[in-house]
């Protein structure tokens, strides 16, 4: 069984991954270009620690489309190496990091200088999860003849929100920051 560090070593850089995206690339690039890191000292604190990030993701995932560019900005500003493991290419890794029994993504694994897993974040900020829960609660039951159409509309609305809502991007940053600081302070 491969270690998280071995997946990291085999992974693509987040930059290469985003350049090679075949789905949601335009939206993800838009978030990356538009998101501005707060000047709150987090990047400077992160620079003092020798961490690296491994993100379990896929380019079809709306959550990943918004979250990966935010975490990428943090990593680049702090000089942290961030790489990608594709969830569906080898499910062994995601199966070690399930969310409520499911293969939810993205999951950002936080590794120390020796490559040991010290923490993880994902798949959403609390605000992002609240939004998804509210939208799902408004859907009719799965047996309803209109369910599929309404679910597609929900996903389209969610994708649009993810691509445009800078407050949601900031919630990802704040939630990720809180997790990382709890590991290093």
Q: E strands, the chain, where?
A: 12-13, 52-57, 81-86, 107-111, 117-121
Neighbours of 10 (CB within 10 A): 12
**Whether the predicted pLDDT of 185 surpasses 90:** no
pLDDT in tens, 130-164: 999 999 999 999 999 999 999 999 999 999 999 99
Average pLDDT, integer, range 28-53: 97
> Rounded to the nearest 10 degrees, how much is the dihedral formed by the CA atoms of 86, 81, 129, 18?
-50
Q: How far is CA 77 from the centre of its chain?
A: 17
Q: In whole angstroms, how far apart are CA 42 and each of 7, 47, 57?
A: 26, 9, 24
Question: What is the extent of the structural domain holding 78?
Answer: 4-184
Q: Which of 31, 120, 95, 38 is nearest to 67 (CA)?
A: 31
> How many whole angstroms separate alpha carbon 47 and alpha carbon 137?
41
CA angle 29, 35, 41 (to 5 degrees): 135
Task: Specify the pLDDT at position 79.
Answer: 97
Question: Which CATH number do you get for residue 172?
Answer: 3.40.30.10
* pLDDT digits 0-9 by tens, 50-62: 999 999 999 999 9
Percentage of residues of the chain with pLDDT beyond 70:
100
Q: What is the pTM of this model?
A: 0.95
Supply the pLDDT for residue 167. Answer: 98
Q: Report pLDDT digits (tens) over 7-30.
A: 999 999 999 999 999 999 999 999
Q: Please tell me the total count of domains within the chain.
A: 1
| Nearest-angstrom CA–CA distance, 134 and 131 | 5
């Amino acid at each position: 069984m491969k270690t998280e560090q071995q997946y990291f070593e085999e992974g693509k850089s987040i930059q290469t991954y985003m350049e090679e995206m075949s789905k949601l690339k335009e939206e993800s690039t838009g978030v990356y270009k538009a998101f501005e890191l707060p000047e709150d000292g987090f990047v400077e604190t992160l620079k003092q620690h020798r961490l690296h990030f491994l993100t379990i993701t896929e380019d079809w995932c709306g959550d990943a489309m918004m979250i990966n560019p935010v975490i990428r900005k943090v990593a680049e500003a702090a000089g942290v190496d961030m790489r990608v493991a594709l969830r569906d290419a080898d499910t062994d890794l995601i199966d070690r990091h399930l969310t409520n029994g499911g293969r939810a993504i993205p999951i950002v694994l936080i590794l120390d200088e020796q490559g040991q897993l010290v923490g993880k974040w994902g798949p959403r900020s609390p605000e992002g999860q609240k939004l998804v829960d509210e939208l799902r609660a408004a859907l009719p039951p799965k047996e309803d003849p209109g369910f599929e159409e309404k679910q597609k509309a929900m996903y389209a609305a969610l994708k649009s929100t993810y691509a445009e809502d800078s407050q949601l991007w900031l919630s990802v940053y704040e939630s990720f920051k809180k997790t990382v600081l709890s590991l290093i302070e």
